[in-house]
């Protein structure tokens, strides 16, 4: 069954992500650690800097929400996600509640990949950018960090 599902994803490029929170954190930690993670350098400091050069800021025509984009990542935006701190922070999110946050100031990556999708527009953007479960975990994480 699992291999059938994986083969069916090959025809839907937008849905090809297959993994869990641990795999997402492992891959994304390269960004939050300045391009090098576990002794392997994959991105230059220049490339990391490009992530934070704002490319667009306004209502995304596909998502229908106000969002800031750098190269390849959404950028911190208090109006959209008030529970993310200011600083060098970028994120990816997925429909249904998943989110990966790279916090370069704290050299930390957080991922929440749900096994049951959240629906609807709880709080305005939940379900498109993170969700109530992810928000609760991210708030707790930053409270613990101080």
What does 94-114 look like in DSSP terms, one character per residue? ETTTEEEEEETTTTEEEEE--
**pLDDT, tens digit, 9 for 90 and up, residues 34-77:** 999 999 999 999 999 999 999 999 988 888 888 899 999 999 88
Q: Please report which confidence band the pLDDT of residue 123 belongs to, taking 50, 70 and 90 as the band edges.
A: very low
Q: Which residue has the higher pLDDT, 100 or 4?
A: 100
pLDDT at 122 over 50: no
**pLDDT, tens digit, 9 for 90 and up, residues 124-142:** 455 677 788 888 999 999 9
Domains of the chain: 2-145 (3.40.710.10)
C-alpha R_g of the chain: 15
Answering whether pTM is above 0.85, one says: no
Tokens describing residue 143 = 């409270």
CA 84 to chain centre: 11
**Are the C-beta atoms of residues 66 and 81 closer than 8 Å to each other?**
no
Nearest 5°: the CA angle 94, 109, 130 is: 25
Mean pLDDT computed over 2-15 = 60
């Amino acid at each position: 069954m699992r291999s059938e599902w994986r083969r069916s994803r090959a025809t839907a490029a937008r849905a090809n992500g297959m993994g869990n929170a641990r795999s997402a954190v492992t891959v994304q930690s390269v960004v939050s650690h300045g391009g090098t993670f576990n002794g392997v350098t994959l991105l230059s400091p220049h490339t990391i800097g490009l992530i934070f050069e704002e490319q667009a800021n306004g209502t995304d025509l596909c998502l229908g929400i106000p969002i800031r984009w750098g190269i390849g990542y959404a950028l911190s935006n208090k109006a959209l996600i008030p529970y993310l701190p200011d600083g060098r922070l970028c994120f990816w999110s997925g429909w249904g509640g998943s989110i990966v946050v790279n916090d370069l100031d704290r050299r930390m990556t957080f991922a929440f990949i749900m096994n049951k999708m959240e629906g609807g527009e709880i709080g305005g953007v939940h379900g498109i950018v993170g969700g109530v479960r992810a928000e609760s975990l991210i708030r707790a994480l930053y409270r613990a960090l101080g």
